[in-house]
Chain A
Amino acid sequence: MTGVRNALRVALRNGKLVAGLAVVLALLLTALVVPATIAYGPNEYVGPAAAPPSAEYWFGTTTFGQDVFAQFAYGLRATFLVGLLGGGLAAVIGMAVGFTAGYRGGLVDEILNMITNIVLVLPALVVLLIVNAYLGVRDVGVQALFIGLTSWPWAARAIRAQTLSLRSRDFVDLARLSGMRTPGIIVREIAPNMSSYLFMTFILLFGGSILIAASLDFIGLGPSQGVSLGLMLNNAARWSALHLGMWWWFVPPGAGITAVVGSLYVVNVGLDEVFNPKLREM
């Protein structure tokens, strides 16, 4: 127990970790709570057209009189969801491929490595463009599925390398001698010894999914139902908010994405310092 408490103390003393987490949690709370407090939907025409921020509409309204703050809150939801699902799926595939390739070695490794390298070289966004343009994407779930299926390779490669270095350790040999089966060894012996690494990989995949989804939405291949921060940017650009000087339409969604992804990255550096004492400030 003292170990855990000690780790927590180190973690809470890390300014980067605490600050990053605070921003992420504040935005997550906004995404979870605020939509419930707004009586109307994000795409309803509720206010005056093209009004700048006011006490009533905190972030102003769009050309059509939609509440930008409502869109922002709902959009954050979609952003977190796509990060969680897309990043989660990518992490699961990356771990499955990385552990198997790294632990098994031999022909299995060769084949999995080949597949990983091929998917790695294919530019993910461009593949997603083709897939989304033909299949059409209705909701965030489908979008996240496609993103997860294309963004796992670097994680698989990194996890494979880590597994390779753990595979020949004594405790793994011991587990093998005691008759433990391969999945058991991976889940109980290898994975826990790189759990911090896996968690940080997931955070990066989470942020990456959000950025890819935002780009797709901006190009106009986002989910056809609902709102997202990327779609807001897309709408703002399409209805020339830029030239009309309606900054309140395009500043919040981009700032939201940047804040979520940026603070996740900062959390990652903080975690790295907590897990790896060498990196702490001298």
Chain B
Amino acid sequence: MPRYFGRKLLIYGLTFFVAVTINWMIPRFMPGDPVQSMLARANIAQPEAVEAMRVHYTDLFGFDLPLWKQYANFWAALFRGDLGISIWLFPTPVADVIARAVPYTLGLLLPAVLLSWVAGNRFGAFAARRKWLDNTALPIGYLLTATPYMWLAILLAWGLGVVAGVLPVAGAYSFAIQPEWSWDFAGSLLQHWLLPFASLFLVAFGGWAIGMRNMIIYELEADYVRYLRSLGASGRLIRRYAFRNAILPQVTGLALQLGVLVAGALVTEIVFSYPGLGHLILQAIQNQDFFLLQGIFLFIVVGVLIANFVIDVAYVVVDPRTRVGMGGAA
């Protein structure tokens, strides 16, 4: 087991290293001069102001230093938690801007991912090999998992928000109230949370249900199932065994799907102007705030790495083979 975790940690460490290096490299080695293009976008007429900005940006990127030193400084700043200053919300540090948005993204993403995973697996296992359910649920599942997250979000916002007028379609809480510890505010938060949550949940649910259904079908053809059947075991018992075997690839699948789920949350937030990381990304792109964009990039990578590690631990818990070093799917 130490070897299993050692390997995983090595990969995550290397991934973090690669991510930081990408982050450092892209602005420096892209065609053209980032400082020049920022100045051009700022669109300032006075030469003194342009010169002041050029000095400011060159200093910020540290372009006047030798490359290795720029790289070392980049890492040093990172370990101090310094991700630079946001240009869009000047002069707020990028780390603060991100810290303000993260609770919203996590509050949306974590429940949606976990609940859809649990519910999707249960439903998929239930539907498998039940002809009627299989034939109705399966097409719906494929339709859901093929739906672009933002489109389902738009449809829900339009149907339930604009046409029916039941739920709000923008923001994380009513613009009429201030964030505070009160029932009013909590209710407003919940109301605004429902639609983005529902659209994330539904798309992910379809994927998990399909995955589970396909796994169970393979499992139900396995030799141990035949053996159980020949012993006269009940269908319920057989399904329970099949489920326990089929859940393992789904745990791995959760790790594999993390990137897609995060991406889904980002675009869903954009649809609902939900003030999480997705909304920040949109603002960063529209305002050419590259420091903010890069900070968010690093933050999401670290988040995904941590989540991967948590899933690795969970895998060891659910698969006894990894504990005694017999391998299993690593």
Contact = CB atoms under 8 A, between A and B. Distances in A.
Interface of A: 114, 117-118, 120-127, 129-131, 133-135, 154, 207, 211-212, 214-215, 218-221, 230, 233, 236-237, 242-243, 245, 247, 250-251, 253-255, 257-258, 260-262, 264-266, 269, 278-279, 281-282
Contacts of A126: 259, 262-263, 296-297, 300-301
Contact of B150 (A121, A218, A260): A218
Interface in B138-158: 138-139, 142-143, 145-152, 154-155, 157-158
Interface residues of B, number: 64
B305 A221 contact: no
A29 B31 CA distance: 39
A122 B148 contact: no
A13 to B, nearest CB: 16
11 contacts: A118-B11, A121-B305, A123-B262, A123-B263, A125-B259, A126-B300, A219-B270, A219-B281, A251-B155, A254-B155, A266-B142
Contacts of B138: 269
B266 interface: yes
Contact of B293 (A130, A207, A282): A130
B145 A265 contact: yes
Contacts of B305: 121
B294 A254 contact: no
A247 B301 CA distance: 36
Contacts of A118: 11, 14-15, 18
If over half of B's interface residues share one DSSP class (helix, strand or loop), that class is named, otherwise mixed; here it is helix
B126 interface: no
Contacts of A251: 155
B23 interface: yes
B139 A266 contact: yes
A279 B162 contact: no
A262 B144 CA distance: 8
Given A219-B267, A242-B158, A130 B142 contact: no
In this complex, the member of A121, A122, A131, A220 whose beta carbon has the largest number of chain B beta carbons within 10 angstroms is A121
Given A211-B148, A219-B282, A242-B158, A125 B266 contact: yes
Given A134-B27, A254-B147, A121 B15 contact: yes
A257 B282 contact: no
A219 B281 CA distance: 8
B30 A233 contact: no
Contact of B301 (A122, A221, A233, A242): A122
B258 interface: yes
A134 B266 contact: no
B290 interface: yes
Given A118-B15, A121-B308, A214 B270 contact: no
A255 B271 CA distance: 17
Contacts of A233: 148, 150-151, 154
Contacts of B271: 237
Contacts of A247: 158
B221 interface: yes
Given A121-B305, A125-B263, A154 B256 contact: yes
B14 A130 contact: no
A250 B285 contact: no
Interface in B261-299: 262-263, 266-267, 270-271, 281-282, 285-286, 290, 293-294, 296-297
A48 B169 CA distance: 28
Given A122-B19, A242-B157, A262 B146 contact: yes
Nearest to A120: B256
Nearest to A261: B146
Interface string B16-53: 00110011001100110010000000000000000000
B146 A130 contact: no
B304 interface: yes
Contacts of A123: 258-259, 262-263, 300-301, 304
Contacts of B241: none
A133 B158 contact: no
Contacts of A236: 154
Contacts of A253: 151
Nearest to A244: B162
A86 to B, nearest CB: 15
A185 B227 CA distance: 38
A247 B162 CA distance: 11
B14 A129 contact: no
A135 B138 CA distance: 41
